[in-house]
Structure 1
Amino acid sequence: MLKEDTFKKAQDGDLKSVEEICSSTWEAVYRFIYYKVQNRQEAEDITQETYVKALSHLQKNSVKIEQYTGFLKTVALNILRDKWRKKKRRGTNVNIEAIDAEKTAIEDETEASAQRELIRNALDRLNEEQRMVVELRILKGYSVAETARIIKKKESTVRVLQYRALQTLASILKNND
């Protein structure tokens, strides 16, 4: 937990305090942004831009400590909205000659829907622990340590559960082909 004097020092330009604020809040902010953009590179860029804007605001104004992570998420969301608005106004540049018609052909929506249903059914056939590990590790992107803490198991157990779950999923999906 950050102390109030850390914020006061950061407002005065103390780099150590700024670093402490960033290191204690970056993970929550990055996850929030990544959830919105689903792109690692873009999430990293926006996270960095969020801290630049938030820290310059911190030096000009005051933000309550309890709300600092929420404040950072609001700054990030505003940056995202600005980017989306600009993209919407500009549109997307497309070089028609560079498009490979075979690669960009629209996939049949019923086939994609059938594949999602097949994967959903395969996940349902896993035991509860394996399904939870797959959801946390692969779908939500948690680390082994975070997953172990959430499901109250050892890290080695999480690795084994993930390995076995993926083996079972591969087998189920292979048999459905």
Structure 2
Amino acid sequence: MIDDEMNIKIDDINSIEKMCAATWEPLYRFIYFKVQNREEAEDITQETYFKAISHIRKNNVKVDKFIGFLKIVSLNILRDKWRKNKRRGSIVNFDNINPESASVEDCTEDMAQREIIQNALKSLNGEQRTVIELRILKGFSVEDTARQMNKKEGNIRVLQYRAIQNLTKILKDEH
């Protein structure tokens, strides 16, 4: 590990190599933790060293704790990337969008249909309504419905057939 107060001469290639060798692994892990993508973490790590060394050379700054300085530079690079992506937004090709599949469902129409069906069900007699509720709405088998209503399976089939016919007639008459 690098001595935090190691005297690095930025113009000396050996000093730069020592600094990079000593700090690349913790810096890369720090960046990878933030982006969760190997290629992006490698790119940002490389960009971090480039910007950090350029800043130190340009401003003739003495850095006491290189790993802390590098992490701050990497965070600034990440923030810039995130801001740029946020401003840019996502690219949408309007030619590939199907308006029917992309549109938001209007729940008022569903509620109106549900209300019409409930009113039609109320128009049926008690046995027919019960058969429709058990067989169609709750998904019971003919056998289970017959057991629940204390009737024979054949009677349940006939009752269901007549209930559906009456329900269809009621719905047609209302619309």
Please give the TM-score of this superposition, normalised by the length of structure 1: 0.48
Please give the TM-score of this superposition, normalised by the length of structure 2: 0.49
From the CA coordinates, give the structure whose radius of gyration is larger: 2
